[in-house]
């Protein structure tokens, strides 16, 4: 069994190491989609203070979930080139230190949501936290190659959380935003898993390209991208957005579908890497287009 020795780091160095475990780049997209959910939930624009507090609360809980994910997967991360640099994998932070800091962040975020937003948002955020750290990380990820499909529900929650933070209720509109991210997650993650398949093979995790091969995975990327393209048009049919969003999402969908088809026809690791990077741009621009469409309609 691999052991993790904790180097003698200064408190500042430990905080810096912990900050990397919070996955700020990944969580910036999560918080961004939550913010757009808040903006879409209000007729004009959300109250600034409520908007900032809700964003901070959701961000803190997301940071805590990411850090605990790194802690749980520290042994797996140490086997993978992509993640072996993490402080938990290297032993730069002791498990108790990571748990303590993550607990403080998560508790602070939930307290903010309970005290200044509403209990529905707090409970949904807590459910998202449990879904990611326990159901996905501990149960699904090591058990099934379809882990990201089921576990993707946690990653799809932020715009719904943003919506409930402003309205205190769930309606059809935030569920559509949830559906879009839910369908986006598999092709996004599977593109990464394809060109990192050797890493995942060493880790022992049953990722789809490892268990069923790259060609099979690319077929699933295409199917989910087709479903995503269909779901991305629902905001127009519901009246959530208009012509500007329709034009933007049509172009974004065509590019994503082009990548998915190309992967099926002539796979290469370089193409999968570009598809993965584009998927991040796609989701960012989709939510930006939803917000911009609101501005255009004023």
Residues of the chain with pLDDT under 50: 1-7
Structure confidence at residue 251 (pLDDT): 98
Distance from C-alpha of 133 to C-alpha of 150, rounded to nearest angstrom: 13
**Locate tokens 């329709």: which residue?**
246
- The chain-wide mean pLDDT, for the chain, equals 91
What pTM did the predictor assign?
A: 0.92
pLDDT, position 79: 80
* Non-local CB neighbours of 259 within 8 Å, separated by 6+ positions: 191, 225, 271, 274, 275, 278
Question: Crossing angle of helices 214-231/172-195, nearest 10°?
Answer: 160
User: What is the reported pLDDT for 180?
Assistant: 97
What percentage of the chain exceeds 70 in pLDDT?
97
Handedness of CA 171, 174, 176, 178 (dihedral sign): negative
CATH topology of domain 12-168: Tetracycline Repressor; domain 2 (1.10.357)
């Amino acid at each position: 069994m691999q052991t993790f020795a904790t180097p003698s780091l200064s408190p500042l160095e430990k905080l810096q190491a912990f900050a990397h475990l919070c996955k700020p780049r990944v969580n910036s997209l999560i918080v961004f989609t939550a913010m757009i959910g808040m903006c879409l939930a209000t007729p004009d624009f959300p109250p600034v203070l409520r908007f900032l507090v809700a964003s901070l609360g959701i961000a803190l809980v997301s940071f805590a979930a990411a850090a605990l994910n790194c802690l749980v997967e520290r042994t797996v991360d140490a086997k993978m080139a992509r993640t072996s640099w993490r402080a938990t994998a290297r032993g730069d932070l002791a498990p108790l230190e990571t748990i303590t800091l993550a607990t403080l962040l998560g508790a602070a975020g939930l307290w903010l949501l309970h005290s200044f937003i509403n209990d529905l948002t707090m409970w949904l955020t807590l459910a998202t936290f449990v879904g990611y750290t326990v159901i996905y990380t501990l149960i699904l990820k090591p058990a099934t190659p379809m882990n990201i499909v089921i576990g993707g529900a946690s990653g799809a929650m932020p715009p719904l959380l943003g919506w409930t933070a402003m309205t205190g209720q769930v309606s059809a509109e935030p569920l559509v935003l949830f559906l879009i991210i839910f369908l986006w997650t598999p092709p996004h993650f599977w593109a990464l898993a394809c060109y990192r398949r050797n890493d995942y093979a060493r880790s022992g995790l049953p990722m789809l390209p490892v268990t069923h091969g790259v060609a099979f995975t690319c077929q699933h990327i295409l199917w989910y991208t087709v479903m995503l393209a269909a779901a991305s048009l629902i905001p127009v049919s519901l009246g959530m957005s208009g012509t500007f969003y329709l034009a933007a999402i049509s172009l974004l969908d065509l590019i994503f579908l082009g990548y998915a088809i190309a992967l099926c026809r002539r796979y290469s690791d370089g193409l999968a890497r570009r598809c993965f990077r584009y998927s991040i741009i796609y989701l960012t621009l989709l939510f930006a287009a939803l917000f911009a469409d609101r501005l255009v309609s004023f």
